[in-house]
Every structure is written in structure tokens, then in C-alpha cells.
Structure 1
Amino acid sequence: MTDPVLFVLAVLAILATPGPTNTLLATAGAAVGWRRALPLVPAEAAGYLIAISAISAIGLALGPVVAAAPMLALGLRLMVGLYLLFVAWKLWRGAGLPIAGPGLVTPGRIFLTTLLNPKAIVFALGVVPFNAPAWPGYLMAFALLTATVALGWIALGALLGHAADAAGRASLVPRLGAAVVSAFAVMLLTPPLLR
């Protein structure tokens, strides 16, 4: 996608879509506030940049391998689903801690969740124009857009956290985050198990 306007619109639309990473960012904003959640932004950007680069570098070779070995794709899907259930469990368990636990959502957890995020495949194979001479500029723009959207999710979470605190329901936001992440895990795990 070499048209800069279409590129920006596509990246913003995909990044703004709720998902596990965005849920964790909002939960962190609610749990520790906007300023203390800022270290999560570079973790998300690094996760996406590494995943996108790796997928684009090996995408042509890996695509046929995964297509020829459906059990490999199933195994990857199950691993990601189980990881998301683990993250949801940690969120739920940490919801009762004071200020919802500063370590509830860590940069490492954001990085790994983003690294495993299926959105990276869409960016690598359909949005970032790696075949264009200016692809490094597009990748830099992607990183800036990622940071911008991440800040928005953190701010939304901080607003929800303030409202939950004011209502005396501080543990509600991490538990809601756990429920949303669990839903994404179930969406990943259910179709392979029904086959």
C-alpha cells in the first residue's frame, strides 16, 4: 500500500480495533494511570516492528509451510490462545491488589502479546509496502502511528479507571480486561476444537 493517505488510514483502522494488546493497554491505564503506563508504548511498538519484519522476511517461505502443515498452524493458534488465557488469569488475579497492582500489565507482557498479535500478519503482508523503495519511511510512520494509538488506549483506560475509582469499583476494570482477553482466547481456541 504505497499511497501515504491510504497507508495511514489502514494502519489507524487496524490498530484502533480492539484486541488483546489494546485491552492490556487500556487496563494498564486504568490500573496505574496514564503516566505510569507510558513505558508500555515502546514495548508495543517493538513487538509489532519485530513481528512485521520477521513475517515479511520469512513470509514467502513460511506461508507454504503452514499451508502444507495444518497441524503447525493449529499448534500456533493453540499456543497463542493458551497464552491469552494465561494473561487473562493474571489480570483477573491481580484485580484485587492495591491500585490493581503496578506489575499487572508489564512491558514484557505487552511485547509478547503484540509479537503474537495476528494484526502483525495483516500489516506485514498487506499494509506495509516492503516492495517499495521508501519502505523504511513507511515502517517509521507505522511506529509513530502505533505509539499514537497506544496512547489513546492508555488514556481511555485511565478515564475508565478514574470513573471506576470514583464509583468504588477499582477492581472492575482489570476484571473486564481479563474477560475481554479471555474472549479473544476463546475465539482462537474454539474453532480448532470443533473440527
Structure 2
Amino acid sequence: MNDPLAFALAVLALLAVPGPTNTLLAASGATAGFRRSLRLLPAELGGYWVAIGVLLLVIGLLAAAHPFVPILSKLVASLYLVYSAISLWRDAGRGMMEGAGPITFARVFTTTLLNPKALIFAFAIFPRGDIATLLPFAGLFSVLVVIVAQGWIVLGNAIARHAAGLVTPARIARAAALALAVFALWIGGSALAAALS
């Protein structure tokens, strides 16, 4: 997409869709609060930039020669999401109640790094061209990521504040774990379907 407005709308639409990173950001907003969750924003942004860079530079070239590479990439992402879901379920908010929280910088970075949305950003939304062409779009993308991430943190925080005793750290962690498991099944299922077709 070479039109900045179309690019911005496509990025916003994709970022706004609930996904594994958004689930973690909302859970952090609900348990750690808005200000403490802001430390996760560079993790999401860094995860997307590393993923998109690798996808464009390495995976794109490999996928042209080897059609199994995108399938393998999706399976790796699915396995990581399963691991993250099991960890969140097992901890069930214990770390959140102690103040450290299982939703760490590293977890958000890795989840974003393996987020299948990066595939769509890299191969369907970002324009093709040299670095000078991509830089303005990269800046716009970064701003939109930060804005939408803050929205998910605010949403999680608002849900926690208005749900009184119904929303506990354990319930938030388990809800986030279930959401991550659903995403893992969806990604893994699509990879297996592609492998079998």
C-alpha cells in the first residue's frame, strides 16, 4: 500500500483486532495498571520490527524457494503461544499479586515476534520499495502501534476497575491464557491445513 491513509487504516484495523499481544497488554493493564504497563510498549514495537524485518529480508526470500517455510513459521508461533498460555494458566495471577507479574517485557516481545499479524504487515500492508520509501511508513506504523497498545492497556485497566471483585488477577491470567490458547489453535490449524493442501 503506497497511500499513507490506506496504510494507516489497514494497520489500525489489524492492530485493533484482539490477538495474543493485545491480550497480554489488556491483562497487564488490568493487573499492573496503566503506568506500570507502559514499559511493555517498546517490547511490542521491537517485536514487530524484528519480525517484519526478518520476514521481509529472510523468510520472503526462503518462501519463494521453499513453500514449507511459512507453514513452519506458523507452527513455531503456535507452539510459543501454547507455552505462554500454559504458563499464564499455571501461574494464575500469583506473580501479579506479588507485583512482578507474569506479563513481562520478554513475554510481550516474544509473543509479538511470533504474532501472525506480522506476516500480514510484512507481506500485505507494507509497500514494496527501498529504505527511503519505507521510512515514512515505518514511522507511521510505530506511532499507530503505540497508540493502539495504550488503548488495550486502558481497556484492561477499565475492566478491572469497574468489575470490582469479579475480576481477580487469577481470573484475568486464566482468561488471557484461554485467549492465547485459542489463537494458538487457530494459527496451528491454519498451518496444518496449508500443509495438507
Unaligned runs of 5+ in 2: none
Unaligned runs of 5+ in 1: none
Aligned to 1:80: 77
Instruction: Assess if the C-alpha contact under 8 Å between 1:20 and 1:184 holds in 2.
Output: yes
Aligned to 2:176: 177
Give deviations 1:90-145, integer Å, cap 9, x for gaps.
Answer: 21122241644533111111111111111111111221224164311110110111
Q: Measure, in 1, the Cα distance between the counterparts of 2:7 and 2:150.
A: 20
Identity %: 39
Other structure's SS at 2:127 match: coil
Report the Cα offset of residue 172 of structure 1.
1.6
Aligned to 1:108: 106
Q: Measure, in 2, the Cα distance between the counterparts of 1:77 and 1:30.
A: 29
Cα distance 1:3–1:190, how it changes in 2: closer, same or farther (>3 A)?
closer
Instruction: Assess if the C-alpha contact under 8 Å between 1:91 and 1:175 holds in 2.
Output: yes
Q: Measure, in 2, the Cα distance between the counterparts of 1:108 and 1:6.
A: 32
Aligned to 1:124: 122
Other structure's SS at 2:18 match: coil
TM-score, reference length from structure 2: 0.87
Other structure's SS at 1:38 match: helix
Cα distance 1:100–1:185, how it changes in 2: closer, same or farther (>3 A)?
farther
Q: Measure, in 1, the Cα distance between the counterparts of 2:93 and 2:108.
A: 21
One-letter amino acid of the structure 2 residue matched with residue 81 of structure 1: S
Q: Measure, in 2, the Cα distance between the counterparts of 1:4 and 1:87.
A: 35
One-letter amino acid of the structure 2 residue matched with residue 134 of structure 1: T
Instruction: Assess if the C-alpha contact under 8 Å between 1:25 and 1:154 holds in 2.
Output: yes
Instruction: Assess if the C-alpha contact under 8 Å between 1:52 and 1:121 holds in 2.
Output: yes
For the aligned residue pairs, the C-alpha RMSD in angstroms reads 2.1
Cα distance 1:114–1:126, how it changes in 2: closer, same or farther (>3 A)?
same
Q: Measure, in 1, the Cα distance between the counterparts of 2:135 and 2:107.
A: 27
Report the Cα offset of residue 163 of structure 1.
3.0
Report the Cα offset of residue 73 of structure 1.
4.4
Aligned to 2:50: 50
Cα distance 1:76–1:179, how it changes in 2: closer, same or farther (>3 A)?
same
One-letter amino acid of the structure 2 residue matched with residue 169 of structure 1: V
Q: Measure, in 2, the Cα distance between the counterparts of 1:144 and 1:96.
A: 31
Other structure's SS at 1:135 match: helix
Give deviations 1:25-49, integer Å, cap 9, x for gaps.
Answer: 1111111111111011010001111
Cα distance 1:8–1:81, how it changes in 2: closer, same or farther (>3 A)?
same
Q: Measure, in 1, the Cα distance between the counterparts of 2:71 and 2:138.
A: 30
Cα distance 1:10–1:148, how it changes in 2: closer, same or farther (>3 A)?
same
